[in-house]
Structure formats: structure tokens, C-alpha cells
Amino acid sequence: MQINMIERRTEPQHLCIYPFLTAASEYVDAAGIMLDDLISAVSFKRARLRGKARVIEALEEATIRKPVIINPAQADMELSSYPFARILVSCIGDNYLIRRYALAEAKAAHERLSEDTSLDIIYEMSEEFGIQLDFSPYAQNQVLVAFYDYLRFTTNIRDKRWRLVNRSLERGKVKLSKTEFVRVLQEAMYERIKQDLPLKVPKEICKTIRDYTDDIKRELEETRKKLGDVGFESLVKDPDSFPPCIKAILGNLKAGVNVTHGARFAVTAFLLNIGLTEDEVIAIYKNSPDFDEERTRYQVEHIAGDKSGVPYTAPSCATMRTYGNCTGSDDICEKVTHPLTYYKRKLKDKDMKEKREKP
């Protein structure tokens, strides 16, 4: 079914659900809200408190509650809280917080989208993110997405079923259910929200709102304590001997970056192969913004062979290159074909060096 023109929804009750939309920014601009007012005016105090709550909810719950909007005034307050939340996150400038907040906003919008998969909202979102979309003539709840748009927004989805090789194609377009397309939109929303953060906020403004940011910093510290500051160095024998590819993946995990499914599989298998316990490997993922212990445990146990009885071996160097996980190759990489061989060789070379240096 093709719809040539869709009336864009500009009602504040709609925009406050999806505050990252271009139309939402235009609405706030048209309302004449000045930065000074948002930061310090008494009339915007509720918006500031709601903005702080958005960030704290992101830390505590990994999503953001969407209140029931009963009137335009409440919608305006909710809309105003979004730019203030972005200012708060930017003043703190913590990369983990930025990713966690962006993911929480995207998840909250995804939840509402999942409740409303009407044609107009599907088209509105596809236009917003520049996604070429058609509805399948053969199935009412199926959409067709241009393969390059599909690849653009599914790179970081870890489930194997999202790999292009596992999807059906029709005239160069990927077949998806509406539910699956909404999941793709979550990735698009996440990238939209994250890419502009941190904003360049003047130091004077950050100083003015320090009471708000101090509360968030305390919550951020508590969140880190709950997750645990995983020291990779304390878990394994000589992490300096890891191959560059494994170091790079671990560095991203420690920084709170969502790495690809292939990278997670590679580092999990590698660490299990060299003797880490399942619990130690699971702990390494706790800094991920979307950490889910139950799901992570299931995946780690599967790779360890608890389910099938056959443990997986870490991918070869050739496979790492194929999936774009070969990073920072060095002279030893040129002489080996597997990350485990690199590790064993580096340990052996180091051991021999230590023996030579003994008096």
C-alpha cells in the first residue's frame, strides 16, 4: 500500500513522546522558549525537575517513563524537559552516561511505537530517518526496507537473525514485520539522540545548574558501584599479551560502548578459552548501557558449551577480518592465524625474556 502524502503530526501531545523529531525541535523554537528561561526561570522549574528525572530514570531503569499527557500545558512541560536533560548530560560529559541516556530515550520511544504501528506513524518515522520503505503487497503486516538502510541501522544489533544473510530479500529490499521495523527504528532513534551529545554548553550555564548535575553525578556513581568497576587486568593472566583485536573490544566494553554481536562472541569465546569463568566474563559486560544479566548469562553459557556440550573456540584471524573486528594489527599478527596463538606466543616470548634477564 502506497501513501503519497502523510499529514505530519504536530500536536504537542504527540511530539513529547518523540522529542528527538525535527518537528519537536521546530515546535519548541516556535514557542519562543529562551535558553535563559529554561535554565533559571521559575516558570520552567517543573521542566527542569522533569529533565533531571529523565536522566536519573535512564541510569536507574535503562528507560524513561512516558507520563499520560492530559493537556497541552503538560505536553509543553514534557517537551521542554528534553532539551534540559540534554544540557544536563552534556555538562557532565560522561561517555557512559551519554550512551545510557540515549539508549533509554530510544527504548522509551520504542515502547510507545510498539503500541502504535499504524500506517501514518510508520511512514512518519521512515521519512524522519530517511528510510526507503514500502508495504508488502502480499502481507498486511510486512514492510520492505532498502537493504542499505537496513544495514545502516542494524550493525549493532547482536542477534544473529538480524544479519543480512539471514533475511529475505525482494527486489533489493529486506522483508521485515512491522514489529521488526520498529526495532530498527529504535536503533535509528538511538543514533539520532547520541550523535549530538555532548552539546557545547557554556561553563557559566553548567555552573548555574550544578545542583541538578550534582544529583545526577551521585546517581551515576551509585550505578557504577552496583555494576562494579570491572578490572580486566585482575581477571586474567597478563592482559598486555592479548592480541590488538581483543584489547580493542575489551576497551569498548569498558567504555560502555555497545559492540557488535560478532565482537561479543569473539571476546567471550577468547576469554573462556584462556580460562576465565562464566561469572568473570559476565562481569565484563556490566558496563554495557543495555546490560541484561539473564540474557548475557544465557549467551555466555551457550558459548561455553553448557547448553550443547561443545564449547566454542574463538574465531580465527581471517574470520575477525571478515567481520571487521581485526584492529591494530602488529608484527606478531603477521605471523599467526588465530588470536589464541597470538596470546600463547606473546606469553612464551615474555617468559623467555624474563628468564634471560634473571641474574
CATH of residue 84's domain is 1.20.930
CA distance 167 to 146: 12
Last residue of a domain, one of 216, 246, 279: 216
Give tens-digit pLDDT for 64-90.
Answer: 988 888 888 899 999 999 999 999 999
Per the structure, how many domains does the chain have?
A: 2
175: β partners: 144
Query: 12: closest CA among 37, 38, 39, 47?
Result: 47
The pLDDT assigned to 229 comes to 46
CB 225 within 8 A of CB 286: no
Do 71 and 211 belong to one domain? yes
Residue 167 maps to a domain: yes
- Whether residue 3 is contained in a domain is answered as no
Cell for 71? 493537556
In a domain, 223, yes or no: no
Each of the 359 residues of the chain gets a pLDDT tens digit; together they read 333 334 446 788 889 999 999 999 999 888 888 999 999 999 999 999 999 999 999 998 888 988 888 888 899 999 999 999 999 999 999 888 998 899 899 999 999 888 887 788 888 899 999 999 888 777 678 889 998 999 989 877 767 788 888 888 888 889 999 889 999 999 999 999 999 899 999 999 999 999 999 999 999 988 777 655 444 444 555 788 899 999 999 888 877 777 888 899 999 999 999 888 888 888 888 777 677 788 888 899 889 987 667 788 999 999 999 888 998 888 899 899 999 999 999 888 887 877 777 66
Domain residues for 348?
A: 232-357
Residue 4 lies in a domain: no
Distance of CA 112 to the CA centre of its chain: 18
313 CB-near residues (< 8 Å, 6+ apart): 269, 273, 340
10 Å Cβ neighbour count for 45? 11
Shared domain check, 333 and 292 = yes
Residue 175, helix vs strand vs coil: strand
How many Cα neighbours within 13 Å face the side chain of 349?
A: 10
Pairing of strands 142-146, 173-177: antiparallel
Domain termination residue (choose one: 156, 183, 216):
216
Q: How far apart are CA 194 and CA 188, in angstroms?
A: 10
User: What is the distance between the alpha carbons of residues 120 and 131, in angstroms, rounded to a whole number?
Assistant: 14
Secondary structure class of 173 (helix, strand, coil): strand
Maximum CA extent, the chain: 82
| End position of a domain, from candidates 216, 249, 270 | 216
Preceding omega of 244 cis (within 30 degrees of 0): no
19 and 167 both lie in a single domain: yes
* Residue entry with cell 543495555: 290
Element (H, E) at 177: strand 173-177
Fill in the DSSP letter of residue 327.
-
Instruction: Clarify whether residues 149 and 283 are in a common domain.
Output: no
Other CB atoms within 10 Å distance of the CB of residue 196: 11
pTM for this prediction = 0.70
Taking only the tens place, the pLDDT of each residue in 217-259 is 999 988 777 655 444 444 555 788 899 999 999 888 877 777 8
Question: Residue 8: what pLDDT?
Answer: 47
Whether 198 is in a domain gets the answer yes
| Statement to judge: residues 45 and 164 lie in one domain | yes
The answer on 259 and 160 residing in a single domain is: no
In a domain, 136, yes or no: yes
Q: Does one domain contain both 236 and 130?
A: no
Q: Are residues 265 and 195 in the same domain?
A: no
Residues 204 and 236 in one domain: no
- Residue with the three cell numbers 561455553: 304
Return the residue matching grid coordinates 537473525.
Answer: 161
Q: Which residues contact 73 (CB under 8 A, 6 or more apart)?
A: none
* Residue 84 covered by a domain: yes
311 in any annotated domain? yes
DSSP state of 159: -
Q: Which residue has the cell 528534553?
A: 82
